Amino acid sequence: MIRVDHLTKRYGDVVVVDDVSFEVAAGEAVAFWGPNGAGKSTIVRCILGLVPFEGTIEIGGNDIRRRGKAARDALGYVPQQLAFYDDLTIAETVDLSTRLRRVALERGRDKVGELGLADHWDKPVGALSGGMKQRLAIALALVADPSVLLLDEPTSSLDVAARESVLEVFEKLRDDRRAIVLTSHNLDEVGVLAERVIAMEAGSMVLECEPSELPERLGLRAVLHVLVRDVPSAVELLNGAGFTARENSHGLLVDVPAGGKGRALTTLHDAGFEVLDVDVWR
Amino acid sequence: MSAVTSTPAAALPERTELRVVRALAAKELRDALRDRWLWLYGASFAVVATGITSLAVSDAENVGFEGFGRTAASLVALAQLVVPLMGLTIGARSVAGQRERGTLAFLLSHPVNATEVYLGIYLGNMAALLVAVAGGFGVAGLVAFLRDAAVDGVDLLTITALAWLLSVAMVGAGMFVSVFARRSSTAMGLALVLWLGFVLLGNLGLMGTSVATRVGDATLFFAAVANPVEAFRLSTITVLGGSLDVLGPVGTYAVDRFGDGVRIVTVAALLVWAVLPPAIGALVFRRSPDR
């Protein structure tokens, strides 16, 4: 469905994507995970054909450089930074997108309705909340039933409630027989939406595995701030159980594997400590 | 959700499609008509143009329909200043502004090519400027008509058409600048420099050059029509049947060399300006490394 072969992108002498190759088949969801600046969004811009690059990118058998229109016809794109014409209404925005995609306006209206925006049809896009704009972006990405869905940090600008509702929408899309390419720096999101994850660092692919394996294989750590009544005893217990814990001004801090946060809490619970509150600090 | 039914690749032509250009131009026009700058330019233009034609009313009492010669000259002088500014700044903000806001990437993520997007923006701006220029002159003409002023409708229409052609040339030049600028403010700055160059330095520079270098009349004439603002001025003079005596020996040369065809030369120069910058701009935009 999508094939990327030896993709390299340079800005002057700086290599931002270095010899990346991967394939995503129909029905498969693949996530690019990595910190900011790892090259994830640049890969997306290359897939869309917005920037020149070295290597080959094919979408549905169409080379993005030689048959860009046909390649993009198979693509639905949800950008990281939602950029719409704020003065246009949802109706006008959908009208433009459906005309460019050769799809009936009614189909666009249906998609907007499916994503809960029917009542806002005549509202200017600039008047919508971040979550609503994200839903509009998803509706536009789906309007032509694309065989490849490209999601660039799709929930990064949303609050918790909007993020949950948007993730639900994406989860439903996974039932379809379409390929999904997602970029994210959020492990939870990757776990929910993808069955394969490619970890990126400084423009290079450093690891390819299942999302559940990622924290351990990369040695990712988290620090939990735990509130209990008898902090010194809890710290002693955790250190004795192999964790690295220390007292904090109003609780304790414990270093845990990013994929195994619950083990420290289970240790405390099994020893009879009541965990009053927990925060993930890193 | 419905099943995936992507369009077969072979069904979508890679060539530039009018259907797509039309859709983009309509969007651009809609967007431009909501732009306060366009209305500000249009309204200012209408107010001053109305003032000029109103003066023709009092003129007419003294000099009859000859009064419109002066009115037309004043309208042309006004258009020479305002229309290039309007076209250049609207053109300059278009591509760079959309790139800055991210809406350009939104458009280009659709199954469209860069040429279609560029032409769509250009044609949309062309239409928006037609509304502004025709609106400005239209209001002035209407006021003149209602007050029974000494204004020739055909002359007014001719000036309007040529002013629109000038605005089209300027929006093309503005968009050309916009392709290279990363930021909208940079593009605006460059557009203002161009405006100064066309409106002030073009004329003064030409006069200075003619005195300092003693270049031939032919060179000076072609240098003059190479400036779109001058081409507009000369077009209106020649098309409205005026004399090129105002240009001195250069005007005499033009009339001797081209006869009545001088109006074709000047209008053609304006047409070249309306076509060449957008054509080159579209080519550069298509090959632009990062859109």
Which stretches within A143-226 are classed as H helix? Answer: 160-173, 187-193, 214-217
Is there a domain that residue B6 lies in? Answer: no
Overall average pLDDT of the B150-175 stretch: 90
Is there a domain that residue B9 lies in? Answer: no
B174 in helix, strand or coil?
helix
A234: left (phi > 0), else alpha (psi -120 to 50), else beta?
alpha
Is there a domain that residue B180 lies in? Answer: yes
Give the tens place of pLDDT for each residue, B113-141.
999 999 999 999 999 999 999 998 888 88
- Report the C-alpha gap between B129 and B38 in whole angstroms: 8
Of A150-159, A201-210, B239-248, the range with the highest mean pLDDT is A201-210
Report whether pLDDT(B53) > 80. Answer: no
B57 touches chain A (CB under 8 A): no
Crossing angle between the packed helical segments A90-100 and A130-142, to the nearest 10 degrees: 20
B145 touches chain A (CB under 8 A): no
Check residue B206 and give its pLDDT.
67
Q: Which of A48, A82, A142 lies nearest to residue B109, judging by beta carbons?
A: A48
Check residue A234 and give its pLDDT.
94
Residues in chain B: 291
Check residue B7 and give its pLDDT.
40
Report whether pLDDT(B3) > 60. Answer: no
Overall average pLDDT of the A125-135 stretch: 90
Q: Which of B31, B109, B285, B290 to mutate to test the interface with A (most CBs of A within 10 A)?
A: B109
- CATH number given to A2-217: 3.40.50.300
H/E run at residue A11:
strand A2-11
Report whether pLDDT(A272) > 80. Answer: yes
Count of domains forming chain B:
1
Is there a domain that residue B10 lies in? Answer: no
Overall average pLDDT of the A25-34 stretch: 91
Residue A103 CA: distances (Å) to CA of A95, A106, B86, B202, B224: 9, 8, 36, 49, 50
Check residue B121 and give its pLDDT.
96
CB A206 within 8 A of CB A200: yes
Structurally, what CATH architecture does the domain formed by A221-280 represent? 2-Layer Sandwich (3.30)
The average confidence (pLDDT) of chain B is 83
Report whether pLDDT(B4) > 70. Answer: no
Q: Of B194, B28, B175, give the one whose Cα is nearest residue B91.
A: B175
CB within 8 Å: A84 and B105: no
Q: What is the DSSP pairing of strand A2-11 with strand A54-59?
A: antiparallel
Give the tens place of pLDDT for each residue, A190-224.
888 898 999 999 999 999 999 888 877 877 788 99
Report whether pLDDT(A137) > 90. Answer: yes
B65 touches chain A (CB under 8 A): no
- Report the C-alpha gap between A121 and A134 in whole angstroms: 15
Structure-block tokens of residue A265: 């809490």
- Report the C-alpha gap between B2 and A173 in whole angstroms: 10
CB within 8 Å: B9 and A100: no
Structure-block tokens of residue A209: 């595995």
Check residue A182 and give its pLDDT.
92
User: CATH 3.30.70.1560 region(s) of chain A?
Assistant: 221-280
Check residue B63 and give its pLDDT.
46
Spacing of C-alpha A122 from chain mean position: 30
Range of the domain at B237: 16-287
Q: Could you list the beta-strand ranges (E) of B23-108.
A: none
- Report the C-alpha gap between A22 and A179 in whole angstroms: 13
Structure-block tokens of residue A121: 């049809």
Structure-block tokens of residue B227: 């400036």
- The Cα diameter of chain A in Å comes to 67
Is there a domain that residue B3 lies in? Answer: no
Q: Which of A69, A146, A147 lies nearest to residue B12, judging by beta carbons?
A: A69
CB A186 within 8 A of CB A116: no
**DSSP structure string for A9-39:** EEETTEEEEEEEEEEE-TT-EEEEE--TTSS
Angstroms from A52 CA to nearest CA on chain B: 6
- Report the C-alpha gap between B49 and B141 in whole angstroms: 9
